[in-house]
Structure formats: structure tokens, C-alpha cells
Amino acid sequence: MLRFSRFLPSASRRGFDIKEALWSGSLTFQHAVSTSAANLDERSSGKKFASYTVFKGKAALSIHPILPSFSKLESGGSRIERNGSVMLTFFPAVGQRKYDYTKKQLFSLSPTEVGSLISLGPAESCEFFHDPSMKSSHEGQVKKSLSITPLGSDSGYFVNITVLNNVQKTTDRLSVPITKAEFSVMRTALSFALPHIMGWDQVLTHQPAAPASSKPRVERPHPDSEWER
Amino acid sequence: MLRFSRFLPSASRRGFDIKEALWSGSLTFQHAVSTSAANLDERSSGKKFASYTVFKGKAALSIHPILPSFSKLESGGSRIERNGSVMLTFFPAVGQRKYDYTKKQLFSLSPTEVGSLISLGPAESCEFFHDPSMKSSHEGQVKKSLSITPLGSDSGYFVNITVLNNVQKTTDRLSVPITKAEFSVMRTALSFALPHIMGWDQVLTHQPAAPASSKPRVERPHPDSEWER
Amino acid sequence: MLRFSRFLPSASRRGFDIKEALWSGSLTFQHAVSTSAANLDERSSGKKFASYTVFKGKAALSIHPILPSFSKLESGGSRIERNGSVMLTFFPAVGQRKYDYTKKQLFSLSPTEVGSLISLGPAESCEFFHDPSMKSSHEGQVKKSLSITPLGSDSGYFVNITVLNNVQKTTDRLSVPITKAEFSVMRTALSFALPHIMGWDQVLTHQPAAPASSKPRVERPHPDSEWER
Amino acid sequence: MLRFSRFLPSASRRGFDIKEALWSGSLTFQHAVSTSAANLDERSSGKKFASYTVFKGKAALSIHPILPSFSKLESGGSRIERNGSVMLTFFPAVGQRKYDYTKKQLFSLSPTEVGSLISLGPAESCEFFHDPSMKSSHEGQVKKSLSITPLGSDSGYFVNITVLNNVQKTTDRLSVPITKAEFSVMRTALSFALPHIMGWDQVLTHQPAAPASSKPRVERPHPDSEWER
């Protein structure tokens, strides 16, 4: 029998408890979040923020989705300009249930990387490599890798980030064990998010016709647009 | 061949029939529901309520989702303040197709507990422990556990709740057998609900730009926000 | 290699082609649909109708979802009054690509029956029994059963309806073979429909606060409503 | 351990990088897209466009969903007139990271073909045959086939299109290898799109009652509409 409480620190059996402990015990984290949110909101009032965060002994991992952006076309429609993504934020523990958000490390998953993660079998691994400065003069200065490796016995995964900074001569590693239940949340949330970060939900949402365009569409082409276009 | 009608009391082959039998035969239950709904609505007019309920010989189990709450940020955006949840309500049978809603027992599933439930294999079990008074002076007075154990032969699960009250010196146990078809409904509904109780659907819904903000966003940062932020 | 075209009549390789053949060749069917839709619309203007239909040699099967209904509560909220369903409509072939819609047979799937169908393994079967007059004086006059049995070799299912009318002394049987690809469409569409026919999408949709209710909600109870309620 | 970067050209490890390379390096492609979008928008202002594109050595494959169309009924409701689809666009490489969009080949997947694709097992194949001129005097002039065959070792699929033109005496073949991660994106996006191209999301979306219709619906039929209709 799986007893999921075994995988969590004793205070973390209830989601709310972890959070309350954190809010009261870790001012550093709370403050950092507020600041970050404020910065974002200056250019995005009305936006909403929600993440899924797991707090473990040595580090915490927080995941949140980022919307795609569309650009207007001359004809009045719009086309996706940049895919959304799913941002992974790691931050190290600096004490019992205290985390230092200022030492966070970020890793942004593209749609294909999300596809890789949600199709991962129980005994499979995957690894992604990012160079934030690729194709610039700073290419190669910083190298990031994210690996997801099984804990064994179908009990979850290790999520590891390594950030190698060739300028500052530093290597940061953070690793967060994820239970099978937590990975199920991530898989479900990421599967839900994927069509949204690709913009497909916006394409597939029925747009009510504008009230003025009451004239019939006379010249509609044959449905088999495979051929005509 | 699975014949699902074998798992249900004879009158329960049709969903509506159960409900009608209950509405007419169990005033206690009907009244309790109305009261409960009324209490909720005093502080939530406009809200909608729907649950998935299975009525079995010794007890019934009802499941309904609860929305997360968001708090406003100074900048105009909002951030999730408290995750939603999925509430399980058990109530004992007090006669044929009569259930006593006043003796109900509640168990609220966090997102991670929902993740555990929806990833449960046919032969797997899981168990959750809650102390509603954790971190208060009443900690340990009441202990709740929920376990989900396989019925065997891939035919469904037993869902069991145990509530141990150390003050009143009582132990309440309720157990509801769930067929594979009913668990499929729960798994599908909970998988649907999970991104919503996490608030991700609200984050990922495209918010039409406010009509007044027609000025272009000049200073948009580089897309690779992994690095800059 | 699966070649799905082998499972379909030659004209049915393209979805549109079947439909066009039907629209032009079977006035009976077309007329019946229009009548049926008109009846519905008298009490539901603004409603939309869409179904998934497979046309086979001896019969056709059409599937469409039906919304749940909610009833207003005194407090302004609303509670689900009746679950939605998924309606299966069978109609016999009366010639090549001609179907007689007036001889249709209906079978309405409850949420739990939908759960049974979408969790069906490749070699599994299920069977449902309905008595449309259950608990009335006509109980037992008509008995319906729906069975879904594997075609073998993971290539799809037979969907069979039997309607036994003890008054008219008739037994109607219609059977439609469903390819694996068609069952995949049904499974996906029914999994999508399930939370909607249960009303959970309406419960989980964030309702923007009414503009007038600007006063803060002072007396919000503790989040751990497991215990208090 | 799977290292997905092995399946991609070195510059394609990051989704954005591919795109940027393409936008700057392939004016042909960029121009063609703009033209195509403009044509569409003349008859569909307000529409949104988003696709999922994989760029490989010899060709690229782009996938985007197309909405269904509804027609008004006299009663005020509407009925689906034509299913939506998922359009696959192949275009050949004409240099390193340069693709010629003018030589594109299109293949439109019906709902059932989408169902076939999303239920494909790791070692399974499928093949579809289209004749864009079927049932016209040009029938047989052009034959298209799309096949999806496994790469082996559960590492993805080859997606191949063959277009045989009996008039121009030409045969065009384009083939794009798809990694397991990319196929996971397609499967997830297509599973999301399927109920939408079938119009079921529009059927299942609760339509708020019109404000004028405040009179009660007196003559509502018995819920068990299986029988009465």
C-alpha cells in the first residue's frame, strides 16, 4: 500500500499546512514573491498567477504556465507570435521549511519539452539543455540542463537543474524528489496547459460573429480545402 | 462480460431512479441538502453546485469540487490565495435507500491527493491522514483517514473513511464500494477538476485587453525570461 | 499495418463524402432530423446541436451530448437538478447509404454508463439494461439493452441495441460495428463531455463577482471546511 | 536515458531558436505565410491562427486546427453544418533551415482520422487515402495518402505524404520524422482539438438564458427522453 505521507515531511501532509508554515516562517520567500509579482503586474494588470509548488528538504520546485502572445494581422485576425511555456522555478532550502527565493533558478519548458515530460514512462528519463544566450555573443557562457530521472519502483522522479556559469565560474545544482502523486498533478496540469500555451484554445474557441456582418458569405470555397489552397 | 447492474441495487440501474427514490423516500436527506445549500449561498450568491453521488447499501459517497480563491494584487492582477479542493462527503444508510445526511463525514482532497487518486493503478491503494486541528491547541483531538483499496479483479475500489475523536471517544467508519465504471467517472471528473482547483484555467484563459490600454507595450523583455528575471 | 479504410464502405473514407451522399440520397433521414430539431428548438432557441455519426452497412449510430439542467436556489445560486446524458441513436439501413430515421431506437447513457464505456479495455464488454417505464404502471412493458462487445484483435467493438416490447410483441435489434479509430473518437468526445453532463464545468468556471457586491466578505470560515461544516 | 536533443538539429533544441532562425533565414516561407493568412482573413476577420510546426532536415510539418461551421435553424438554434478538421501542411527543405512554402502539400484529417492518430500504439501504423475530387468528373486524377509508421524502439514516428498527380504525371513525397516528445504534443493537442472540431464544446457550453424569457417552462417532458422522442 502506498502511503503518500511517507514521502512528505510530517508537516506537509496537508497542502494548506505547508503553505501556512511557509508564509509564517519564511519572510524571505514571501517578500520575493510579492516583488516578483509586482514587477510582472506593472506590464500586465488583470493577469492572474497560480503555481504548483512542492517543498522538499533541500529545495522547492514551483511550476506555473505562461500564456502565448498573439500579434494582430492587417485583416483583423491575429496569429500566434510566441508560444507560451511552463516555467520551472527551483529555490534552495536555507533552514527547516525556509527557502531562499533570491537564489532561484529558472527553466522554461517549450511545448515539445512539455510533451516529453507528460509522455515519460515510469522508468524513463529525459534531459533538456538550454543556453539562454544562444546565437548571441554570450553564447556558451551559461549552460543549463534539466534532467528528470526515476526514483525507482514507480515511486516518482528526481527533477534536477544544473546551471554552469563559465563567467562567474560557478555551478549550481538543485534537486527535488517528486512523488508519483505530485508527478500526476504535474502531468495533468501540463497536459491541460499544453494546448493553451500553443494558443490552440484561442483558435478553437468559437468567436461570436460580429453583429454588423449580417450579409451572407456567398463565395465560400469547397470544404475540401486540402486541394484548393 | 462486465454487467454493471450487478454491482448496483436493483433500483439503481438508472441514475435518475436512484435520485427520485431518494428524493421521495428520504426527507431527512433532502432537507439536509437544502439547508446546507442555503447556508453556502448566503455568502455565495450566483454559485453553482453539482456533485457526483453513489448510493450503496451501507453508505453513500458524494463528491464535489470547490473553487480556489484569488486575492487582488496592488497592480491590478490577482494571485491564487488558497487552492480549491475536492470534497468527499460520506453519509450512512439508515434504511433501504434512506441516508442520514446529519451524520455525514467530510474529507477534503488537496491537489496532490487528487493527483494520487487519479493515478491509482488497478491493484494499488492509497491512504491519506488529516488532522483538522493541526498546529492548533486541539491538534490530535480528531484524526481522519481516507483509504482507497482495490476490490480485486480490476472491478473497482473500496473508499473508506475513519474518524477518530479522542474527546468524544468515538470512532466512525464508513465504507463505500465503487465500481470500475464509477471510479472512471471520478477519475475523469477529478482530472478535469484538477487544473481548475489549482487555478490554472484562470491563469491560462486569454483575458481580452482592456479597451483603454491602446498604447503599445514598448519595453517588452526578451522572450527568454528564464535568464532575465 | 492498420488500414482504416478497410473497415469502412468505399465511399466512406472521407467524412464529408458519407454525409453528402446521405444528404442527397436519403430525404427520409434529412427530413426527420429537421423535424426533430424543430421540436427541440421550440423550447430551446439558441441551443446548438452536433453529433458524431457512423454509417455502416446495416445501421447507423449517432451520438450527441445533452446538457444538465440547474434549478435556482432562493439564495441566488443554483443546483444541478438533472444530470445531462449522452444519447445514442440507432437507425436501420433501408438501401445503399439510405437510412430510415423514423425507425430509430434511442438509448440514453447516464454519467456512470459513460464512465463504463470510456474505461472499457480492448477485450472487455459491458451491457446496460433500461426500462423506460420503471416504477410506473407500465414497468416491464418495454426492455432495452445496450451491449458493447469487442470485434477481436483490438480492432474495435460491436455496439448492439435490443428493444423488447411486450405490448406490441416486437423485438428490434440493431448492431453497428465501430472501428478502433471511431471508438477513439467516442472515448475522447465522451471523456470531454462527462464533466459537462455532470455540471462540473459550470461549477468550476470562475464567475466574475457581481459589480454591486463590493463589500468585503468579512466572515469567511476557516479554509479547512472539512471540520466546520 | 532519452536525450531528445539527439533527435533535433543542433539549433533546434529551443523552440524559439528554430523559429527565429527561420524567420530571419527564409523569406520565402515568411512571405507565403503572410499571404495565406491574409487570404483567410478577408473572410474571417477576428479569427486566430496558431500551429505546431516541427522543422526537420528534409521537410517540415505544420499542424493547425480548423473550426466547424454551424448553420442557423429556423427556431433560433443552430446545427453543425460541417465538421472542423486538423490540417497537416508539409513543405520541403531547400537549404539549411530554409523551407519552400510554395511547394507545400496539404492533408486534412477528419474527426475519425484524428481518432485513429491519437489512439496509435507505439508499434502501430495507420494510413489514410484521400481523393480531393472524389465524386466529381476529376475523380482519380489526384491521389493523396498519408501514412504514419513507427521509427522503432518507441522513439517516434515517420509521417509521410504521397501525392500522385495523374494529369501532371508527378509524384511528390515528403517525409518528416517525429520524436516521441513531438508526437506527445500532437496527441495532446489533437485530443484537445477533437471535441472542438466536432462542435461538442459549443453544444456543451452553458448558454445563459435570455433575459426576456422569464416565464417558467411549464410543459417540460419527462427526463427519460429515450422513450418519448
> What pLDDT, in 10s, does the model give residues A85-126?
999 999 999 998 899 999 999 999 999 999 999 999 999 999
pLDDT tens digits, residue range D123-148?
999 999 999 887 788 888 999 999 99
Asked if A189 and B194 come within 8 Å (Cβ–Cβ), the reply is yes
C9, C182, D136, D178 from D112: Cα distances, Å: 14, 6, 23, 21
> Residue A222 is placed in which grid cell?
469547397
pLDDT grade for D10, boundaries at 50, 70 and 90: very low
pLDDT grade for A206, boundaries at 50, 70 and 90: low
pLDDT at res. A44 = 53
Q: Which residue has the higher pLDDT, A225 or B229?
A: A225
Cα torsion B82, A41, A80, A221: sign: positive
Please, what is the end-to-end C-alpha distance for chain D in angstroms?
A: 58
Phi, psi of C146 (to 5 degrees): -120, 125
Q: Which amino acid is at A128?
A: F
pLDDT at res. D18 = 37
pLDDT grade for B174, boundaries at 50, 70 and 90: very high
pLDDT grade for B130, boundaries at 50, 70 and 90: very high
Which range among B47-51, C170-174, D19-23, D167-171 shows the weakest confidence by mean pLDDT? D19-23
- Helix, strand and coil in chain C, % to nearest 5: 30, 35, 35
Q: Is D110 on the interface with C (CB under 8 A)?
A: yes
- Chain C residue with CA closest to D70: the answer is C48
* Averaged confidence pLDDT in chain B: 77
Longest dimension (CA), chain B: 69
pLDDT at res. B228 = 41
Residue C104 has pLDDT above 50, yes or no: yes
pLDDT grade for A183, boundaries at 50, 70 and 90: very high
Residue C6 has pLDDT above 70, yes or no: no
Please, what is the end-to-end C-alpha distance for chain A in angstroms?
A: 58
Contacts of residue C58, Cβ cutoff 8 Å, sequence gap at least 6: C92, C93, C174, C175, C176
Q: Is D140 on the interface with A (CB under 8 A)?
A: no
pLDDT grade for D213, boundaries at 50, 70 and 90: very low
pLDDT at res. A3 = 35
Contacts of residue A103, Cβ cutoff 8 Å, sequence gap at least 6: A91, A92, A172
Interhelix angle for D180-197 vs C180-197, to 10°?
A: 60
| Rounded CA separation C165/C180 (Å) | 32
pLDDT grade for B132, boundaries at 50, 70 and 90: confident
Q: Is C16 on the interface with A (CB under 8 A)?
A: yes
In this prediction, what percent of chain D has a pLDDT beyond 90? 59
Q: Which amino acid is at B127?
A: E
Residues from chain C that touch A223, judged by Cβ atoms under 8 A, are 16
* Averaged confidence pLDDT in chain C: 77
pLDDT at res. A160 = 97
User: Least CB-CB distance to B75: which of A42, A50, A193?
Assistant: A42
Tell me the mean pLDDT in the region C133-138. Answer: 81
pLDDT at res. C35 = 32
Q: Which residue has the higher pLDDT, A35 or B64?
A: B64
Those chains having 3 or more beta-carbon pairs within 8 angstroms of chain C are A, B, D
Residue A223 has pLDDT above 80, yes or no: no
| Rounded CA separation B157/C119 (Å) | 14
pLDDT at res. A152 = 85
- Asked whether the ipTM of the predicted complex exceeds the cut of 0.85, the reply is no
A32, A35, A37, A44, A48 from B75: Cα distances, Å: 16, 11, 9, 8, 11
Give, as one character, the DSSP assignment of residue B218: T
pLDDT grade for D226, boundaries at 50, 70 and 90: low
Contacts of residue B150, Cβ cutoff 8 Å, sequence gap at least 6: B122, B123, B124, B125, B156, B157, B158
In this prediction, what percent of chain C has a pLDDT beyond 90? 59
Contacts of residue C87, Cβ cutoff 8 Å, sequence gap at least 6: C63, C64, C65, C66, C106, C107, C108, C109, D225, D226
pLDDT grade for D211, boundaries at 50, 70 and 90: very low
User: Least CB-CB distance to D224: which of B16, B223, B224?
Assistant: B16
Q: Is D118 on the interface with C (CB under 8 A)?
A: yes
Tell me the mean pLDDT in the region D188-194. Answer: 98
For B135, the 3-state DSSP assignment is: coil
> Hey, which residues does B178 pair with through a beta bridge?
B157
Those chains having 3 or more beta-carbon pairs within 8 angstroms of chain D are A, B, C
| Rounded CA separation B118/B112 (Å) | 10
| Rounded CA separation B185/C191 (Å) | 9
pLDDT tens digits, residue range B184-205?
999 999 999 999 999 999 999 8
pLDDT at res. D166 = 92
pLDDT at res. B144 = 96
Q: Which amino acid is at C110?
A: S
Q: Which residue has the higher pLDDT, D159 or B10?
A: D159
pLDDT at res. D229 = 34
Residues from chain A that touch B135, judged by Cβ atoms under 8 A, are 17, 20-21
Neighbouring C-beta atoms of residue A172, cutoff 10 Å: 15
**Contact assessment for residue D190 and residue D114, using Cβ atoms and an 8 Å cutoff:** yes
In this prediction, what percent of chain A has a pLDDT beyond 70? 70
pLDDT at res. B208 = 55
Question: Position of cell 484563459?
Answer: B205
pLDDT grade for B134, boundaries at 50, 70 and 90: confident
Residue C167 has pLDDT above 60, yes or no: yes
Q: Is D165 on the interface with A (CB under 8 A)?
A: no
pLDDT at res. B97 = 86
Q: Which residue has the higher pLDDT, D21 or B73?
A: B73
pLDDT tens digits, residue range B15-68?
333 343 333 322 233 333 333 333 343 345 678 999 999 999 999 999 999 999
Which range among A26-30, B76-80, D34-38 shows the weakest confidence by mean pLDDT? A26-30
| Rounded CA separation C22/C113 (Å) | 30
Q: Which residue has the higher pLDDT, B137 or A108?
A: A108
Asked if B106 and C200 come within 8 Å (Cβ–Cβ), the reply is no
For D222, the 3-state DSSP assignment is: coil
pLDDT at res. A55 = 96
Residue C181 has pLDDT above 90, yes or no: yes
Q: Which amino acid is at C150?
A: P
- Chain B residue with CA closest to D223: the answer is B16
Tell me the mean pLDDT in the region C82-95. Answer: 95
| Chains B–D, number of C-beta pairs less than 8 Å apart | 4
Half-sphere exposure of D50 (CA within 13 A, CB side): 25
Identify the H or E element spanning A7.
none
**Contact assessment for residue A172 and residue A160, using Cβ atoms and an 8 Å cutoff:** no
| Rounded CA separation D228/D219 (Å) | 14
pLDDT at res. D173 = 96
pLDDT at res. A40 = 41
Residue A31 has pLDDT above 60, yes or no: no
Which range among A106-115, C69-78, C114-123 shows the weakest confidence by mean pLDDT? C69-78
Q: Which amino acid is at A15?
A: G
pLDDT tens digits, residue range A59-75?
999 999 999 999 999 88
Contacts of residue C90, Cβ cutoff 8 Å, sequence gap at least 6: C59, C60, C61, C104, C105, C106, C107, C161, C174, C176
pLDDT tens digits, residue range D77-90?
899 999 999 999 99
pLDDT at res. B83 = 93
| Rounded CA separation D103/D206 (Å) | 43
Interhelix angle for A111-118 vs D180-197, to 10°?
A: 100
pLDDT at res. C99 = 95
Q: For an interface test with D, which of C185, C190, C194, C198 has the most D Cβ atoms less than 10 Å from its Cβ?
A: C185
- Chain A residue with CA closest to C17: the answer is A224
Q: Which residue has the higher pLDDT, D60 or C42?
A: D60
Closest among B1, C196, C54 to D112, alpha carbons compared: C54
pLDDT at res. A76 = 86
pLDDT at res. C12 = 34
